[in-house]
Structure 1
Amino acid sequence: MGKSPGDDLLAKGEKKAGSSVGWFGSQSSKWEEAGDLFQQAANQFKIEKEWEKSGKAFEREAACRLKAGENNDAMNAFHNAAKSYKKSNPEAAVSALHQTIQLLTQAGNFRQAADREKEIAGVYAQDGLDMAKARDSFVRAGDWYKQEDANATANQCYQQAAELSADLGDYPRSMDLYTTVADWSLTSALTKYSVKEYWLRAALCSMAMGDLVTTSRLMESFAQKDVTFPSTREAKFAHELWQACEEADVERFTAAVVQYDQVTKLDNWKTGVLLRIKKALEEDEGGLT
């Protein structure tokens, strides 16, 4: 089988990158031309669905752009490499995204850096590659978005981090993140309606920790932040669960869950946390402390 057009362009790029500069040439133009050839090769490999080769060619382009002092173009090349690698090599995609972020932060583009960090979180979360790293990347992206006053996007990242924290069994972190999300959501009329959901999740996390004192303290602070909260279905459900845990009453706990589910369908996340709390109740008939 003969060489593909992508391989031919790659060879031309390598030849140009390794060539010496003549009397009338310049180093920067040499690296620009080599970069152009590597970019063409990378795009050709994309057409051929040779994702690994495409990613590597984009990385070669990025190296040339850096040598030519074209940092913006290098940034784009690393990002393009990541997009190709996502199809075949998630770890290489993350590495290329880290290179992109390094150049973005050096240029002070923290909003774009946050976008790329969120992308890293997505790569790690996909197919459960590394949920802890996904969570950490969502938090980092959220912090950068907040720094750039993109609060709604920051909140979405913190939400995803909170959900993953609970999946990892890190209930204290999940509880703190849901409380942070709720506090911000209280400040906007558009997001205020969702606060009771985050508070319920935070309360469930505290019960999953087996810390009923914290649950009680949370419920009191939520009621102070929003006087309408205690009358909501979410607050009543949390209070009933808390009482069932206090009394180590598995039947009361189960009845509360069934009743709530009949009106407001429980999602997978809540179901998982509730099962965790119920299991602890069943194992410790003396009640949680």
Structure 2
Amino acid sequence: MRLSPAILVLLLALPCAALSPDTAPSVRMEKEFARLEAQASASPAARRLFAATRHVPRREVRGSGLPDAIGVRGGAKPELVFDALRLPEVTETDAELLLMLNSARAFLAFPIPIVEAEQAAWQWTLLFAVERGAEDAAVFGTRLAGAVRAAGSRSEALDRSALPPRSPWELAETPVLKLPEDALERAGLLLYLLEKDPDRFYWAVEAGSAWPRGSARLSEIEDLYSLRGVDIAALRVPPEGPYTTLGGRRYASSLVRTAFLLRGSGEVERLREGLEAYDSVGLAAMRSAINRWRRAVGK
């Protein structure tokens, strides 16, 4: 099912100048997305996230240049972006998933791209998907189950093609499927991997995402503060060059520069708190929600 006829007429009828470069969403667009939010709010995870991101600005554009029709931009000052050129081609299922995913990204906004934040955003999106699927088993839940089955077939075929380790010193190959462009297919693949092995899911998010230069892992920044906090505090300017020596040890300057720029800002602590132990406590809630969805769809 595509977006409602009202929004299609609105999106296609507006002249380019009306939405260029950016505008606040029109009243009719706001009403349409309020309807999408209401549908998605069958999920407790969605209700919490929408409430937490109510302050995030929304922009309506024609040709955002972002990977999806609904995206987020702005780093530490996020705004949700709705691409009026591409939204007419997005199903309501995809629109709900993208709205949830990018609301999660906005909630976890950080000055630079962080691996753990993207993993958590996708995990919360999958939690939404199974909660939503349990409430609407006949439509949303069945579509999700179909996407998981299709993704599982592709993933299992790739697993069978992987070469075994040639020696005890060689790690087993971890195949990575390219993340599909379609949001439901993407969710299906990631949910299949999460059910199979959470580490496979986390690796798929990390390896399947295009990380710009300067990205980092939150754990690496925290470890650097723990080990070299005094040395970082002593720096007067951000380091240049590929390496920086701290305490007689050589580190990548990109990581040290990030730690230098974030020192004392509270951003690292805020993000760690926002992640809510997604990869430990959060997994238990995820498994419970998956079981409920599986029972609801009978698969």
TM-score (norm 2): 0.30
Counting helix residues as a fraction of each chain, which structure ranks higher? 1
Q: Which has the larger radius of gyration?
A: 1
Counting strand residues as a fraction of each chain, which structure ranks higher? 2
TM-score (norm 1): 0.31
